[in-house]
Amino acid sequence: MTGKDRIIATLERRSVDRIPVWPVVTAYLGSRVLQRPYVDFVLNPMLVYEGYRAMIDRFKFDGIDICLGPPADWESRRVVIEIDGITYLADPATRQPFARLQDDDEAVPVSLDPPIKEKRDLDKIGITTVDEFERMGCLEPVRAIVREVGENVFLAGCAASQTMNSLTAWRGSEQAMLDLREDPVFVMEAMEKATAISIEIGKALIRAGCPGIYIGDAWASASIISPRDYERFCQPFHAKAASAFHEMGAKVHLHICGNSAPILELMADTGVDAIEPLDMMDTAALADAKRRVGDRVCLKGGVSTSMLLNGSADEVYEKSLEIIRVCGPDGYILGSSDDIPRDAPFANIDAMVRAAFDAGPSRRR
């Protein structure tokens, strides 16, 4: 079986030749595989796609999450200036700096003011349609990697931030929490717009050839909001996005990191094919997750990011085998419990992958 075949079969709860491996990765890992400073990725977004290819080739992942490409004219939009020895990204029209560059990290915004200070400013947030993304050329980098590896690797397009991630980005984290209590109508309006934005992004990724879509919000975790608030505010929009992408024939997985244990049933009720990344769960908690929702949704993840960063390769290998025994044999995809840490030893990632090969075939009970 190819990695793509293996993941699709697992999501459909069919037998596979072995447990598939599909961790949560970022461009940081891609930059390390390519041996390039991360600032190069900030300055050249097309390097992100080279990073995807490099990670797939180096680690033999069965699946990987990818993003929509930049506009075809991205180079003319990328203006770099220096002020007092500090390098910034600047607005191409005004040349006003908006983010400070760092060698090995994300660019740091100059201003932390949220874009929606007044609730009426929500109207200023636009929705880019799939056809507009097409005209801008954003689908072409996705189509290129689909042509190159899409027959063998499951490529899931990232179309997340339906709810709390967008609310906190637009309003600031403290005000967003107050909004949940003080103006739930506004919160629902904001999440409706955020979901509409994500659906257009997902449509573009599916049009470009992605067979799967990643949805979800880290800020929707029970580490931050209550299960009741998740059910009221977030679940309907995660379900709406999942339904839209299913109608287009894509598989959908829902990412909520942090403490997701109290909302596992609510996550499964969204109708997604898989839930991830099973963060903050020891073996007993993973067994509980399998018991509670493993008969109706695939589980994905569970390998501690702390262990991937600080453990030995032997520890990662043995823990991965243990997690496979607990979460398998059917309906489980081995992966990290959140983003693989930037400085995780490659030997530890290799050990996680090796465990999937050594665990043997996955068969339905």
Interval 300-341: pLDDT, tens: 999 999 999 999 999 999 999 999 999 998 999 999 999 999
The 8-class DSSP code of residue 173 comes to H
Number of alpha helices (DSSP H) and beta strands (DSSP E) in the chain? 17, 11
Give CA–CA dist 63/325, Å, rounded.
21
- Two tokens at 52? 């995807």
- Domain 25-74+118-276 belongs to what topology? TIM Barrel (3.20.20)
Q: What is the pTM of this model?
A: 0.96
Domain extent listing, the chain? 25-74+118-276
Average pLDDT over residues 31-44: 96
pLDDT of amino acid 365: 39
Q: Which residues, other chains included, contact 352 with Cβ-Cβ below 8 Å and sequence gap of 6+? A: 21, 23, 303, 308, 316, 317, 320, 334, 336
DSSP string, 272-328: -SEEE--TT--HHHHHHHHHHHTTTSEEEEEE-HHHHHHS-HHHHHHHHHHHHHHH-
Residue 20 has a CB neighbour count (10 Å cut-off) of 28
Residue 192 has pLDDT above 50, yes or no: yes
